[in-house]
Amino acid sequence: MAKVIVYTKDDCPWCVKVEDYLRQNNIAFEERNAQKNPEFAKEMVRKSGGAAVPVTDIDGIIILGFNVKKIREALKLA
């Protein structure tokens, strides 16, 4: 099973969309709130090159924003 991490911030509607999509497809994930935890923020910027959210890390594949096509490809969903 893929390791999925979603970097979020409070009041981010696109973060909610990513998490809802993963839940609807029974994909386990870890949420890391970059607004509340400075270490998560540093980690997110290191991985993505920026401070915008959501950032989804699927086994090292970094996906910016809410991009269903890229999420499905990274998870190898048909």
Q: What is the pLDDT of residue 52?
A: 96
Q: What is the pLDDT of residue 1?
A: 80
Smallest CA-to-CA distance from 29 within 7, 62, 10 is with 7
Q: What is the pLDDT of residue 21?
A: 97
pTM, two decimal places:
0.95
Q: Which helix (H) or strand (E) holds 52?
A: none
Q: Which domain holds residue 37?
A: 4-75
Q: What is the CATH number of the domain that holds 8?
A: 3.40.30.10
Number of domains in the chain: 1
Per-residue pLDDT of the chain (78 residues; tens, 9 = 90+): 889 999 999 999 999 999 999 999 999 999 999 999 999 999 999 999 999 999 999 999 999 999 999 999 999 986
Q: What is the pLDDT of residue 78?
A: 63
Q: Measure the CA–CA gap between 32 and 46, rounded to whole angstroms.
A: 14
